[in-house]
Amino acid sequence: MPILIFIIAGIFEFGMMFRALEAITNAAREGARVGVLPGYDVPDVQTRVNDYLNASGLTGAHTTTVTNQTLATGAGTFTARSVNVSYPYTFVVLSGFAPMVGGGTFGSINLTAASIMRTETQATP
């Protein structure tokens, strides 16, 4: 019975972690979407990412990096904005089981997501 409960708790924890990963991925996408629009800068991107994560219930500390890139393709070069979001996910359910299996903690894992979108302006050839 304890092993079955531990497996069910692990399945539940994985579902919660996957939900957090999806929210982080969408936050990076939303940040990139704002970042490619004319007139928006890095603080606007970070604000959009923060707002999305807060609305998703992920209120812990996270890291958002925004970089500009020039990408070359067969059709020419274009500029793009890359948004990377990193969020430390702390295990909630499995942490309750740690004292039962000899102490310690299950700790946390760093979830990351990135999104790259093409800007609205043309790069110079």
Mind listing the pLDDT tens digit for each residue in 21-41? 999 999 999 999 999 888 888
Tokens of 30: 């939303």
Grouping H, G, I as helix, E, B as strand and the rest as coil, residue 83 is strand
pTM of the full structure: 0.81
> Which residues is 85 bridged to in the sheet?
64, 113
Segments in the chain below pLDDT 50: none
pLDDT at 101: 61
Quote the number of domains for the chain.
1
Q: How confident is the model at residue 124, as a pLDDT?
A: 55
Euclidean distance between CA atoms 125 and 111, whole angstroms? 37
Q: Where are the alpha helices (DSSP H) in 1-125?
A: 2-35, 42-55
CB 20 within 8 Å of CB 14: no
- Whole domain around residue 34: which residue ranges? 2-122
What's the token pair of residue 27?
């936050």
